[in-house]
Structure formats: structure tokens, C-alpha cells
Amino acid sequence: MGERSWARFAACVVLGAVAAFTLLVFPTLGLLLFVVAAWVVRLPRLRSSAWGILAGVGAISLVIAFVNRRGQNADPRPWLVAGIVFVVSGVALQVRAIRRSSRPAPSPR
């Protein structure tokens, strides 16, 4: 179960990163991709890995912070903080989801 969950999480990370990048470059198309992403993660197989979208958005924020690291075009610190928060939150929530799904069901008394 764990390997599949992480593979699905990685797929959601890619989906979130593509949606976030597209939202920044082509806002109308990006909004459409976020709607598609929201619909895709409603599928039962991907629902537990939906936190990957959050991590994908954070990955794009980290890339933007890296590109602006010298501060000539924009201050990279807000992008860096947002990226770290999104990536760490996405991974932590995914770990929590995997642990919850792997717990045995409580036995009736």
C-alpha cells in the first residue's frame, strides 16, 4: 500500500506543479487545470494522495524563489517561505493519510 500511495502522491505533485505553473503563465488555463485537479483527486484511488497538489504548488514556489535568489527581479523570501510551508505541509499530511489508512480497523466489542 505504501509504494502505491507514494506513487499516487508523486502524480498529484506533478499535477499541482503543472497547474500552479500554468496559473502563473496562463491564468485562464491555469484555473481550468486547478478545476481538473480538484475533480481528479475526487477519484477514490487518488483521494488519499491529494496532498500532493499542495506539495506541487510549493515546489513551483521554491523554483520561483530560486530563480529570484539574487533579488534583482523580486524578493525571493515570500516565495521561499510559501514553498517550504506548502511542501512540508503536503508531505506531512500525506504521511498522516498513509498512517491512517494502514491502521487496522477497530474490532467490535
Split the chain (109 residues) into runs of 10 and give each run's mean pLDDT: 80 91 89 84 83 94 94 90 97 90 69
Residue 9 belongs to domain spanning: 2-102
The pLDDT of residue 2 is: 65
Q: Is residue 47 situated within a structural domain?
A: yes
Q: What is the separation, in whole angstroms, between the first and last Cα of the chain? A: 28
Q: Are 79 and 71 in contact (CB under 8 A)?
A: no
Q: Is residue 82 situated within a structural domain?
A: yes
Structural domain tally of the chain?
Answer: 1
Q: Is residue 108 situated within a structural domain?
A: no
